[in-house]
Amino acid sequence: MAETLNRGPVSGTAVTSPAKRKPFFVDFYSTAVGKKYVMALTGMIGIGFVVVHMIGNLKMYLGVVNEGELRVYDIDWYGEFLRELLVPIMPRTYVLWGLRLLLIAAVLMHIHAAYSLTFLNRKARSVKYQSARDYQVANFASRTMRWTGIIVALFIVWHLADLTWGWANPDFIRGAPYHNIDTSLSRVPVAILYIVANIALGIHLFHGTWSLFQSMGWSSPRFDSWRRGLATAIATIIVVGNVSFPIAVLAGVIEFDPDAINCCIEGEEGG
């Protein structure tokens, strides 16, 4: 990047030595526009996951269901269903792990692209404006993406420690989501953490969902007016859905009752 003034004539600025093209992904990812593409694609994977995850969690509200002889919490049964996806075509948990790996890769790439673009953007304005800016349309969501992103990333780690690995929940029982959620979210500070993190997630999605259309170049007079609406809808649904769980737990709507079920908890190995 030019720092000082160059005087003298300018010529031959488009003449480049024919360089061998780099491998496709490296080539594409090397530009900011390419990185934004990757952010949009990985963002879509993230949105897809978050939506499905939230819908899956709604099974909390179905409570106990009868599966033949068995009485189980529906969400626990759903967890088992995920582990058994495509069985017997694939061995148990293989598909789930495939999806998890895809998700992990997406999150890592999303973070890497965000990190390097932030770095680039800092460099692009090395001297800041010395007077106050008066932003016209840049909203809170768009301007706080990197902060909401960091909050969500940290929350994911906590969330895994809390409800997947169980390190952060002394009452954790492997393979018993209903029980674990209840015990974890009954702790008021944890419930507040969930609420705050999900609001951050909603803000992140509000800009991210709209933004991905631009980054992907999906723009057409026919649906452009829908893009903002879709972003609002996704962000709202995710926040309302996810925030309802800690509230429901604290309100006693969701309450684990060991006597209500006759299966699958204590001693049974989950995946």
4 binds another protein (CB under 8 A): yes
Q: Which of 44, 77, 117, 223 binds another protein (CB under 8 A)?
A: 117
Closest-CA residue to 248 (of 157, 178, 196): 178
123 binds another protein (CB under 8 A): yes
Nearer to another protein, 117 or 150 (CB): 117
145 binds another protein (CB under 8 A): yes
CB atoms within 10 A of CB 194: 23
CB atoms within 10 A of CB 22: 11
Q: Identify which range of 44-52, 187-195, 210-218, 257-265 contacts another protein by CB under 8 A.
A: 210-218
β-bridge mates for residue 71, sequence order: 66
Handedness of CA 239, 212, 102, 168 (dihedral sign): negative
Give 62's DSSP letter. Answer: G
34 binds another protein (CB under 8 A): yes
136 binds another protein (CB under 8 A): yes
Residue 131 CA to residue 134 CA, distance in Å, equals 9
Q: Identify which range of 71-79, 99-107, 118-126, 158-166 contacts another protein by CB under 8 A.
A: 118-126
The gap between the terminal CA atoms of the chain, to the nearest Å, is: 52
3-state secondary structure of 73: strand
Nearer to another protein, 134 or 259 (CB): 134
β-bridge mates for residue 64, sequence order: 73
Q: Which of 207, 238, 243, 244 binds another protein (CB under 8 A)?
A: 207
**Angle between helix 177-185 and 224-250 (nearest 10):** 80
Instruction: State how far the alpha carbon of 166 is from the alpha carbons of 173, 184, 270, in Å.
Output: 8, 10, 13
Please give the size of the binding site for another protein, defined by CB under 8 A: 58
225 binds another protein (CB under 8 A): no
Q: Identify which range of 55-63, 91-99, 212-220, 263-271 contacts another protein by CB under 8 A.
A: 212-220
Q: Which of 85, 95, 189, 213 binds another protein (CB under 8 A)?
A: 213
Q: Look up residue 152 and give its two tokens.
A: 């969500």
Residues that bind another protein (CB under 8 A): 1-5, 7-15, 21, 24, 27-28, 31-37, 117, 120-121, 123-138, 142-143, 145, 207, 210-211, 213-219, 224
